[in-house]
Amino acid sequence: MRLFILLIAILLSNISCRIATVEQQNLSCKVCSEVLNLSTFQGAVLEAYTHIQFNDDWRSADSLLRSTIQRFKSSLIIDSLVYFSCAYLTLPELSGNNLLFTKELVMELERSASSVKNPQLQAILHFALNHYYYHTFDALKSFNHAHKLVSLNAMEAGDMKVLEHIALGRAHERAIDYKSALKNFLEGYYIAEEIQITFYRSFILGVLSDFYNRNNLHEKAYEYKLVSLDLLANDSISYYFSLLHKLEYVRKINKDGTFNLSEFKEVVNYSKRFSIKRLSVYAFAFLRTSFLDANKAPELYKLYSEQYPEELEQFKIIDSDNYFKFMAAYHEFSGKPDSAEYYFQKVIKAYSQSNAGFGNIYSLYLRYGDFKVRMGDQKLALKAYLLSFEAVNHLNNTKHQLIAAKKLKDIYVASNQGNEAVQFIQIFHSLQDRADSLQHDRDIVKMELENGAQILQLQKRLETEQLHKVHQNQYNLIAVFIGLVLFILLAAVQLHVPIWIIRTLGFLFFIFLFEFFIIKLDKQIHHLTHEVPWKLFTLKVVLFSMLLPLHHWLEKIVVHYLVEKRASGGRLIKFNFQIISDWFQKWNKPG
């Protein structure tokens, strides 16, 4: 079952930045190479992971994994081909960038599904395809592979059930059935808590946190992220990505968009210390978004100039489009609208020439529209907001659709354009109802409360079981200690030590033995008497009246015997080697 760990660890490093530690990756690679007998496994997948995680270089990772996949494809090694294809789908920023190859790969996996006989690999295949279709907004196919995963592992328990519920939850979310999605995620969370495997607990907590964030329930997202952070080693990559997520939720919860800047600096320092470029890129992207959304571009520029001048220069060279957007905001709020317009036009031109993604187009025209509103140019602002709304509709992101729709609603109302205003008022309220559906749904609240109560009850049971194990280990140690005292007592007689030592050891041995016997009986006594005081008193008086004379009698008999042996100079254990010699002679006689 540990075969799944690597692909889940890779899944943790997708766009939402939930990644596993390098130690987990190495462990998973070792297990996978043993199960699939892949000599190139560590060299291919780990190197691809390193290219992305430490170098933020998806192109090298793409080239490496594609060549590996082609090699296995030409050699017709189906299991290896399927595994590396799944790795390609679930490694961050590969399938989302090379769309043509990804579609070909998905078709190949769909065709190969019936040829895979290894049940673990079948599970990997269906989980990876469920993951892919979830991110491409194909609810039907996401459901298809989720159900195949469930049927494949119908008799399994534990960690596999966590993954089944995640797959089903994602499929329901794509079908806009948020209740069923949350129900599956919460059931997965309960199972993860029950099996007490930290990796799966952290994973499902991240899934829940992301789910609430996508549905604008930032307080709930923050709560689950805090629990997840407690499970992670505070020197791991995943901890600092999760910390960055926590800061994002805090920023959204606070109306002024503030967050703990010292925690941000911790993330940056960690990324510098271990040269984790991807973490650094995400951290500074978060910083820019936070300051720009709060209209604090001059403060951001000052922070960059004073504390991160090298990062500012790298940002200017490597990501010129976003740098121009930053400079546009900086010049606007520094009182230089002409310079701001100049930089906005540079970005618009660059996007038109480079076939930019819908997310980038949405963000650019939303900011440009805001700029034009502040400059009093309603006509160009309206045009920009329409382009932003058109782009965000391709993303199917309710939260961002709502933002763009509100901008359009407000500008149409302000400019007295009645028909268009009515249209976008209706669109806005429809999106608002969808966004608020989880916040005001009593069934959702009930599910949360019931799950919380179940988790609390489970945690109490696990704590009780853990305490029982600790107590049982202590009982075992006491038994070993008593046995050791007995051994020392017998050794003392054998070695003819002074008699007073033998008497002392004998006295202590019987004290320990009978006390151990009493504490082992104590629980049964309380159970039999149902904690009724007079029954406890009566039973214990009877028990001690029997045990005390027995204790004294046994001690007297045994110690007296041992002292006599010591006084007579005899030995407790006599080993007659002659007996063994006679036995061997008899054995070797002919006939």
- Structural domain boundaries in the chain: 443-568
Of residues 184 and 158, the one with the higher pLDDT is 184
Does residue 274 carry a pLDDT above 60?
yes
Does residue 36 carry a pLDDT above 80?
no
Lowest mean pLDDT among 107-111, 177-181, 298-302, 587-591: 587-591
Question: Is residue 562 classed exposed, middle or buried when 0-12, 13-18 and 19+ CB atoms within 10 A define those classes?
Answer: buried
pLDDT tier for residue 286 given thresholds of 50, 70 and 90: very high
> What pLDDT does residue 422 have?
77
> What pLDDT does residue 341 have?
93
pLDDT tier for residue 589 given thresholds of 50, 70 and 90: low
> What pLDDT does residue 141 have?
93
User: What is the average pLDDT across 309-330?
Assistant: 90
pLDDT tier for residue 518 given thresholds of 50, 70 and 90: confident
User: What is the average pLDDT across 63-76?
Assistant: 79
Residue percentage of the chain with pLDDT more than 90 = 20
User: What is the average pLDDT across 300-316?
Assistant: 91
Q: Helix 378-395 to helix 358-374 angle, to the nearest 10 degrees?
A: 160
CB atoms within 10 A of CB 103: 13
> What pLDDT does residue 523 have?
78
Does residue 169 carry a pLDDT above 80?
yes
- In whole angstroms, give the CA distance from residue 177 to residue 174: 7
Digit-coded pLDDT (tens) for 422-471: 777 887 778 777 666 656 565 666 666 676 677 677 667 767 777 888 88
Does residue 500 carry a pLDDT above 60?
yes
- In whole angstroms, give the CA distance from residue 239 to residue 18: 9
> What pLDDT does residue 400 have?
83
Of residues 461 and 543, the one with the higher pLDDT is 543
Buried b (16+ CB within 10 A) or exposed e, 500-534: eebbebbeebbebbbeeeeeeeeeeeeeebeeeee
Lowest mean pLDDT among 150-159, 293-302, 520-529, 552-561: 150-159
Q: Helix 358-374 to helix 320-333 angle, to the nearest 10 degrees?
A: 10
Residue ranges of alpha helices (H) inside 495-532 are 499-529
User: What is the average pLDDT across 268-282?
Assistant: 90
- Under 8 Å between Cβ of 204 and 16: no
Taking CA atoms, 463 is separated from 229, 263, 455, 458, 460, in Å, by: 20, 32, 12, 8, 5
> What pLDDT does residue 26 have?
40
Of residues 37 and 408, the one with the higher pLDDT is 408
pLDDT tier for residue 135 given thresholds of 50, 70 and 90: confident
Does residue 28 carry a pLDDT above 50?
no
Digit-coded pLDDT (tens) for 351-399: 888 777 888 888 889 999 999 989 988 889 889 988 888 888 887 777 7
Average predicted confidence (pLDDT) for the chain: 80
Tokens 């946190």 sit on residue: 209
> What pLDDT does residue 572 have?
62
Digit-coded pLDDT (tens) for 372-381: 989 988 889 8
**Which tokens in the block code for residue 324?**
């121009």
Digit-coded pLDDT (tens) for 198-247: 888 888 999 999 988 888 888 889 999 999 999 888 888 889 999 999 99
**Which tokens in the block code for residue 411?**
């500008």
Lowest mean pLDDT among 236-240, 256-260, 416-420, 517-521: 416-420
> What pLDDT does residue 62 have?
80
Does residue 24 carry a pLDDT above 70?
no
> What pLDDT does residue 153 have?
64
Does residue 34 carry a pLDDT above 60?
no
User: What is the average pLDDT across 555-564?
Assistant: 82
- In whole angstroms, give the CA distance from residue 179 to residue 214: 14
Digit-coded pLDDT (tens) for 321-360: 889 999 999 999 999 999 999 999 999 998 888 777 888 8
- In whole angstroms, give the CA distance from residue 11 to residue 17: 9
Does residue 31 carry a pLDDT above 50?
no
Closest CA to 92 of 45, 127, 125: 45
Taking CA atoms, 300 is separated from 67, 219, 293, 306, in Å, by: 42, 26, 11, 10
User: What is the average pLDDT across 520-547?
Assistant: 81
- In whole angstroms, give the CA distance from residue 446 to residue 464: 27
Buried b (16+ CB within 10 A) or exposed e, 51-87: bbbbebbbeebbebbbebbeebbeeeebbbbbbbbbb
**Which tokens in the block code for residue 23?**
């130690």
User: What is the average pLDDT across 313-322?
Assistant: 88
Taking CA atoms, 551 is separated from 433, 489, 545, in Å, by: 78, 17, 10
Closest CA to 32 of 4, 70, 12: 4
Residue ranges of alpha helices (H) inside 136-276 are 139-152, 159-174, 178-195, 198-214, 218-231, 237-253, 261-273
Lowest mean pLDDT among 19-23, 336-340, 424-428, 569-573: 19-23
> What pLDDT does residue 156 have?
58
Angle at 321 (CA atoms; ends 315, 322), nearest 5 degrees: 60
Does residue 16 carry a pLDDT above 60?
no
Closest CA to 403 of 344, 362, 353, 457: 362
